[in-house]
Amino acid sequence: MQLPVTFKQLGIIIIETMSYATGRRFEHFVKDKLIAKGFNVRRVTLSGRQPPPGEGKTDIPNADLIVEERFYGKAKTTKAKKYVSFPESEIMELHKGDQDFLVFNFKRTPPFVVIRFDDFADLLKMWKEKKE
- Tens of pLDDT, residue by residue over 40-56, are 999 987 665 665 566 66
> What percent helix, strand, coil does the chain show, rounded to 5?
40, 15, 40
Asked if residue 64 belongs to a domain, the reply is: yes
**Containing H/E element for 42?**
strand 41-43
Alpha helices for the chain (secondary structure H):
7-10, 12-36, 88-96, 117-131
pLDDT number for residue 84: 75
Asked if residue 66 belongs to a domain, the reply is: yes
Split into its structural domains, the chain has a count of: 1
- The parent domain of residue 70 ranges over 7-131
Residues 20-46 have a mean pLDDT of 89
pLDDT number for residue 115: 93
Q: Is 1 exposed, middle or buried (0-12, 13-18, 19+ CB in 10 A)?
A: exposed
- Residue 123 is part of a domain; what is its CATH number? 3.40.1350
Asked if residue 1 belongs to a domain, the reply is: no
Q: What is the DSSP letter of 113?
A: E
**Containing H/E element for 112?**
strand 112-114
Asked if residue 75 belongs to a domain, the reply is: yes
